Structure 1
Amino acid sequence: MVCGGFTCSKNALCSLNVVYMLVGLLLIVVAAWGKGFGIVSSIHIIGGVIAVGFFLLLIAIVGLIGAVHHHQVMLFFYMVILFIVFLFQFGVSCSCLAMNQGQQEKLLASSWGLMSTDTRISLEKKLDCCGLFNNTEQQREFVADMNMCPAPCKQNGSCITCGLKSLQHASEALKILGGVGLFFSFTEILGVWLAMRYRNQKDPRANPSAFL
């Protein structure tokens, strides 16, 4: 059975919003996983991804309700806000993909320097690592951190630095967030166009004499 123009638009818009809800949840979960690794949370762009994922999830729910009830006002605000979310999501996704390892190292080093001794010790114990980076620039700080490090790996003499461990997880999180966000950001333009088209169609179930 071939659906009519109104029904097809409604079904397509509902399906698209279900996808947006899943993408929003994925962005939030992956970004929260990235922030869970201590100093990775210093990459503030991951917090921006959580905000984008939350607003995408929220606007998808609004769009789904508006599509089901063919609600003119809700669909209008859905189009406007979805376009704004697209702009932010596109920018944040490009920033995630563009951030290289050198920039990540600088952010991690600056955050590590602002941490108290107790916070560093707690983080080292949690991640099972010692110190940030073992290089000539931070050698004195690294030696001091190694002396106070309570990580279990120190007993075996095979500790890796917290900087390397954090960079690994940061790179994974940024690649996933950037790739998923960038790909689905373009589908949001389709959502805006589809909502505009569906909003201007007349509901065949409505009273013909009613004002639309």
Structure 2
Amino acid sequence: MVCGGFACSKNALCALNVVYMLVGLLLIGVAAWGKGLGLVSSIHIIGGVIAVGVFLLLIAVAGLVGAVNHHQVLLFFYMIILGLVFIFQFGISCSCLAINRSKQICKSRSSTCQMCGEKFLKHSDEALKILGGVGLFFSFTEILGVWLAMRFRNQKDPRANPSAFL
């Protein structure tokens, strides 16, 4: 059997969606863990991370069900949603990587003065670069998911009726 055929595309799409499900569950777990230990006190941050995890989990379940059942409509919407998420995530990731720190003026007479804002910007700049890199990595896996879903959607199931359309 040739890799790239129906079974290979189906298995690759299923594996990618299982990875997305694990990442979604990891996001939800990390948010709950951070809240439980009191590391993060902002309910907005916790809610945002949980919302992203649930959204990713739902998209992954839809992709997995579409791949297992070779469901044309579900795979079509899966491709569209992943494409839109890619555009959104790629834009945010690129802006995180290209962040430019603003310099603050030190009012002290010594030249070693470092303001709290400057320290915060330094650490947030590093964190946003890491976040941007992780976001770019996942945005490229989304392109892989769109390509696999499109390829799998257009393949004919070898077990199906030969006179069926797809």
Q: Same fold (TM over 0.5)?
A: yes
Q: Work out which of the two has the higher radius of gyration on C-alpha atoms and give 1 or 2.
A: 1
Which secondary structure does the structure 2 equivalent of 1:14 belong to?
helix
Q: Which amino acid aligns with 2:13?
A: L
Could you tell me which residue of structure 2 aligns to residue 174 of structure 1?
Answer: 128
Cα-Cα RMSD? 3.9
TM-score normalized with structure 2 length = 0.68
Question: 1:161-201, CA deviations, whole angstroms, 9 ceiling, x for partnerless residues?
Answer: 76466445533431221001112212322221211111111
Residue 84 (1) aligns with residue 88 (2): no
CA separation of 1:81/1:193 partners in 2, compared to 1, >3 Å: closer, same or farther?
same
Could you tell me which residue of structure 2 aligns to residue 63 of structure 1?
Answer: 63
Which secondary structure does the structure 1 equivalent of 2:14 belong to?
helix
Hey, which of these two has a bigger chunk of helix by percent? 1
List runs of 5+ in structure 2 lacking aligned partners: 109-113
Aligned-partner Cα distance in 2 for 1:37–1:173: 19
TM-score normalized with structure 1 length = 0.55
Pairing partner for 1:188 from 117, 120, 142: 142
Please give the residue correspondences for 1:60-139 in structure 2 after superposition, counting only pairs within 5 Å. 60-102=60-102, 135-136=106-107
List runs of 5+ in structure 1 lacking aligned partners: 42-46, 106-133, 138-159
Identity of aligned residues (%): 75
Aligned-partner Cα distance in 1 for 2:162–2:25: 40
Aligned-partner Cα distance in 2 for 1:135–1:69: 63
Count of matched residue positions in the alignment of Structure 1 and Structure 2:
151
Could you tell me which residue of structure 1 aligns to residue 111 of structure 2?
Answer: none
